[in-house]
Amino acid sequence: MKKILFIALLALWTQVVLGQDNVFWLGADISGTTEMEAHGVQLYNAAGEPRENTALMKELGLNAVRLRVWVNPKHGFSSKEDVLVMAKRAQNLGMAIMIDFHYSDWWADPGKQNIPAQWKHMNYKQMCKALAKHTRETLELLKRNGIDVKWVQVGNETTNGFLWPMGEATTHMEQYAGLTQSGYDAVKQVYPDATVIVHLDAGSDPQRYNFIFDGLVKYGAKFDMIGMSLYPYWDMKAGLEVDYQGTIEHCVANIKALNKKYGCELMLVEAGVEAAKPVEGKRIMAEMIDAMKTRTDGHCHGVFYWAPEAEGYYPLGAFKDHKPTVIMEAFTEAAGLVEQ
């Protein structure tokens, strides 16, 4: 108990003396929370006590949340109004907030970057204005309600750009860069001190990062931080890596190289392991968090688990029977809330 108290006090002292920018962020994307609640799903802590998801993440040792924004979602979930609901919960618990703009009416990822229905007939200049307007209006809603936004992603896993084909990087890199700059400027107009993130998948693969960020630099688009997804499971499925150790090792090397080349900091804004193998998953997550904290020369500033509460329809959650598995203990231990 004395050791646990000492670690907690040391962490608090570090935040006060060194400032929040020196915090290693332990977070989760819990954007699906309100939809689960609407379907009557109740979550519990490991002891079986009912918990709201944001409060549960805080209890597990997390200090940040990530919330996605869709432009005109069919059922209203992940709209700017829905994001405000979740942002209020997080801020009331003292958790830092990352906003993740998908610039789509639904999921955006390396396999799909669909233009929102209302933007489909726009030309490039009109789309830049629409993107900026959507970004500003969302952030202005949060600011009017007293929400402090620490990070903002301009696009989600934009490994080949976004808003295809208008902003498809392989064919229209200059337009992708211009659309990204429109988002960057809109963020700074509302939250001048927010860190703007450009986010790609497969953090262990330097080729895709050099391609995108060389293009953004070439055409003068600004970004403050590079965000990465890191999923050993998907890397092995895709043949990028033969084991999880390779994913972690190559990601560490990539972080160092990207920092040196582009002069910016980095963060794992998405990570996850196989839910069906919780003991192995905890070990992988613990090694991943430790590597990002101790082996990147201080250039990786946090790890966010993507949708830990997801269960049954997604293989990389971290819950079973609506309770966290031991996978989440990797975060609790990293936060110093339990002895390792």
Residue pLDDT, tens place only, 74-110: 999 999 999 999 999 999 999 999 999 999 999 999 9
Which pLDDT score, from 0 to 100, does residue 21 have?
64
Which pLDDT score, from 0 to 100, does residue 339 have?
54
236 exposed, middle or buried (CB, 10 Å; 0-12, 13-18, 19+)? middle
Nearest-angstrom CA–CA distance, 121 and 214 = 29
Give the residue ranges of the chain where pLDDT is below 50: 1-20
Which pLDDT score, from 0 to 100, does residue 338 have?
67
Write the Ramachandran bin of 271: left for phi over 0, alpha for psi from -120 to 50, otherwise beta.
beta
Instruction: Give me the residues paired with residue 25 across strands.
Output: 302
Which pLDDT score, from 0 to 100, does residue 22 have?
84
Which pLDDT score, from 0 to 100, does residue 337 have?
82
**What's the full length of the chain, in residues?**
340
Which pLDDT score, from 0 to 100, does residue 4 have?
38
First to last CA, the chain: 12
3-state secondary structure of 243: coil
Which pLDDT score, from 0 to 100, does residue 320 have?
97
Which pLDDT score, from 0 to 100, does residue 8 have?
42
Which pLDDT score, from 0 to 100, does residue 182 have?
98
Q: CA-CA distances (angstroms) from residue 222 to 197, 210, 301?
A: 10, 15, 19
Q: Could you give the domains of the chain?
A: 24-334 (3.20.20.80)
